């Protein structure tokens, strides 16, 4: 082919413009998603959920207006409506397990613990799933009391409504990996719904990218009077509880105490939030959950899946797990008036952009190995990722830094040497970068070489 300098120049211009448009499109899509999340729609759904009186897991399942049965049927029909608006892009079903009083101390009677699942199948990696969860169930002061009003407007109609809103917005797009929107039950009685779905996932060989569990995403006024509508917490455990004894002892020599899969997911969410929603203040909390308390990401962590809890920064204990009443001038109860819908919208948007960017990204590179002992440079190698990828990026940071500080895109190669970077002084990880510029979660090295 004969190309004059002028022709060559215009060809280069066309190629560059193409890349440019692509890069802008990608980030613009995430901004569009943020803009589409509606506080009004979240408010309507929270009011509807709180209106079922109680959603205690053991409450009425026959009534159409009161109890968890009515609530889950309404959630299912809403997912089905979202699906019919997107050409049946969601597969909606109940996933359920039977519990009896022998299964736990907080089970007053036999019942089905029923989750409502909506799956948006990925076009390229249908068996890879990123999950957003909220809870259907609520509780009164006494967990065993399944008749007293327990509107659970913030705990956890807020997380449930956010999950439904994310489904409404993201179902307008197509993704390479699958997204699951789920309402879990039995949270207050011992995390039974999460356990049921995590086991279901394991049994069906789902490859879970990560679980974004939302539990209380609507309260901005702390019990101490602090009002803050920008901060929120991302809880993540340091390393999976399923790691082997060998992996544990390897860590003494090679590091990784704060680099488990859930922590990488938390860092990913933190980074995307800072990039796309700089007005927010995401707080990385280096623990599984609040001190001595639990949430529905834990059963997934228990089985070795990555999962985090996304939650408001300032809790109001007068509005959690309390019968509605006034005592000594203090109003108790988890009522709709305690929820800030604009804040719930912001945290829903945090979820939505991370679900989208994970579902648009290629899988993480597997079997990342690291070398460079008594050498002036650090070497990394990994298995190639199947798919349409632009290449790989290496991240590194000081051993005391919470977030990745440095990165280098190294192209479509499967090994690379970072010249002059001493292995002892940093922690390293590798991501795959799609042609659409979306990045996978960081893979922390799981082996070494010389």
Q: Which of residues 419-448 bind Zn ion (CB under 5 A)?
A: none
Region class of 205: left (phi > 0), else alpha (psi between -120 and 50), else beta: left
Question: 147 or 417, CB closer to Zn ion?
Answer: 147
Question: 182 or 359, CB closer to Zn ion?
Answer: 182
Question: 155 or 237, CB closer to Zn ion?
Answer: 155
Min separation Cβ 144 and Zn ion, Å: 14
Min separation Cβ 187 and Zn ion, Å: 7
46 CB-near residues (< 8 Å, 6+ apart): 153, 157, 158, 161, 218, 336, 339, 341, 344
CA distance linking residue 122 with residue 175, whole number of Å: 5
Min separation Cβ 34 and Zn ion, Å: 28
**Residue for token digits 């998603």?**
33
Q: How many residues bind Zn ion (CB under 5 A)?
A: 1
Question: 253 or 291, CB closer to Zn ion?
Answer: 291
Question: 45 or 155, CB closer to Zn ion?
Answer: 155
Q: Which two three-digit tokens encode residue 30?
A: 């995430």
Q: Which residue of the chain is nearest Zn ion when measured via CB?
A: 155
Question: 155 or 176, CB closer to Zn ion?
Answer: 155
Min separation Cβ 323 and Zn ion, Å: 14
Min separation Cβ 220 and Zn ion, Å: 18
Min separation Cβ 155 and Zn ion, Å: 4
- Residue 60 interacts with Zn ion (CB under 5 A): yes or no: no
Q: 211 near 193, Cβ under 8 Å?
A: no
> What are the φ and ψ backbone dihedral angles of 30, each rounded to 5 degrees?
-70, -40
For residue 92, give the 3-state DSSP assignment: strand
Enclosing H/E stretch for 284: strand 281-285
Q: Which two three-digit tokens encode residue 41?
A: 């729609």
- Tell me the β-bridge partners of 285: 235
Min separation Cβ 246 and Zn ion, Å: 37
- Tell me the β-bridge partners of 193: none
Fill in the per-residue mask, 244 to 273: x = in contact with Zn ion (CB under 5 A), - = not in contact: ------------------------------
Min separation Cβ 50 and Zn ion, Å: 14
Question: 2 or 105, CB closer to Zn ion?
Answer: 105
Q: Which two three-digit tokens encode residue 361?
A: 């990204």
Question: 294 or 387, CB closer to Zn ion?
Answer: 294
CA distance linking residue 329 with residue 315, whole number of Å: 20
Number of CB atoms found within 10 A of residue 80's CB: 14
Q: 90 near 126, Cβ under 8 Å?
A: no
What is the DSSP secondary structure assignment for residue 338, as one 8-state letter?
G
Stretch that binds Zn ion, among 23-31, 149-157, 192-200, 352-360 (CB under 5 A): 149-157
Stretch that binds Zn ion, among 48-56, 151-159, 274-282, 442-450 (CB under 5 A): 151-159
Q: 73 near 92, Cβ under 8 Å?
A: no
Min separation Cβ 29 and Zn ion, Å: 34
Question: 55 or 379, CB closer to Zn ion?
Answer: 55
Measure CA 165 to chain center: 14
For residue 448, give the 3-state DSSP assignment: strand
Stretch that binds Zn ion, among 153-161, 273-281, 345-353, 376-384 (CB under 5 A): 153-161
Enclosing H/E stretch for 193: helix 192-203
CA distance linking residue 362 with residue 382, whole number of Å: 15
What is the DSSP secondary structure assignment for residue 321, as one 8-state letter?
S
Using CB under 5 A, pick the residue from 60, 155, 259, 315 that binds Zn ion.
155
- Residue 334 interacts with Zn ion (CB under 5 A): yes or no: no
Question: 156 or 264, CB closer to Zn ion?
Answer: 156
Stretch that binds Zn ion, among 155-163, 167-175, 219-227, 422-430 (CB under 5 A): 155-163
Query: What's the burial of 279, exposed, middle or buried (CB within 10 Å: 0-12/13-18/19+)?
Result: exposed
Residues in contact with Zn ion by CB under 5 A are: 155
């Amino acid at each position: 082919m004969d190309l004059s300098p002028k022709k060559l120049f215009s060809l280069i211009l066309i190629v560059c413009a193409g890349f440019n448009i692509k890069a802008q499109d990608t980030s613009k899509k995430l901004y569009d998603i943020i803009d589409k999340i509606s506080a009004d729609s979240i408010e309507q759904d929270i009011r509807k959920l709180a209106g079922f009186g109680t959603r205690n897991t053991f409450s009425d399942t026959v009534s159409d207006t009161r109890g968890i049965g009515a609530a889950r049927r309404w959630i299912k029909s809403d997912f089905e409506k979202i699906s019919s608006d997107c050409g049946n892009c969601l597969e909606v079903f109940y996933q359920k397990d039977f519990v009896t009083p022998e299964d736990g101390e907080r089970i007053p009677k036999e019942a089905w613990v029923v989750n409502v699942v909506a799956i948006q199948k990925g076009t390229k990696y249908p068996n890879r799933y990123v999950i957003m969860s909220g809870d259907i169930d609520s509780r009164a002061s006494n967990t065993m009391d399944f008749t007293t009003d327990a509107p659970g407007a913030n705990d956890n109609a807020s997380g449930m409504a956010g999950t439904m809103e994310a489904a409404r917005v993201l179902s307008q797009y197509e993704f390479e990996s699958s997204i699951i929107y789920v309402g879990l039950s039995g949270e207050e009685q011992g995390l039974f719904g999460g356990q049921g779905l995590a086991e279901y996932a394991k049994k069906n060989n789902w490859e879970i990218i990560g679980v974004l569990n939302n539990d209380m995403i609507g309260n901005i006024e702390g019990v101490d009077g602090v009002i803050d509508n920008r901060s929120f917490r991302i809880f993540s455990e340091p390393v999976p509880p399923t790691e082997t004894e060998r992996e544990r002892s390897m860590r003494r020599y090679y590091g990784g105490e704060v680099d488990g899969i859930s922590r990488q997911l938390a860092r990913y969410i933190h980074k995307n939030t800072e990039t796309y929603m700089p007005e927010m203040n995401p707080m990385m909390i280096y623990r599984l959950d609040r001190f001595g308390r639990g949430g529905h990401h834990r059963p997934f962590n228990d089985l070795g899946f990555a999962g985090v809890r996304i939650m408001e920064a300032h809790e109001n204990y007068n509005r959690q797990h309390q019968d509605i009443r006034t005592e000594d001038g203090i109003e108790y109860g988890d009522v709709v008036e305690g929820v800030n819908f604009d804040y719930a919208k912001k945290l829903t948007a945090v979820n939505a952009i991370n679900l989208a960017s994970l579902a648009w990204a290629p899988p993480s590179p597997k079997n990342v190995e690291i070398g460079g002992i008594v050498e002036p440079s650090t070497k990394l190698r990994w298995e190639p990722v199947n798919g349409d990828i632009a290449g790989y990026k290496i991240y590194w940071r000081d051993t005391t830094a919470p977030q990745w500080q440095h990165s280098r895109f190294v192209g479509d190669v499967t090994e690379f040497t970072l010249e002059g970077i001493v292995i002892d002084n940093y922690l390293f990880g590798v991501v795959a970068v799609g042609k659409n510029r979306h990045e996978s979660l960081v893979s922390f090295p799981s082996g070494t070489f010389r």
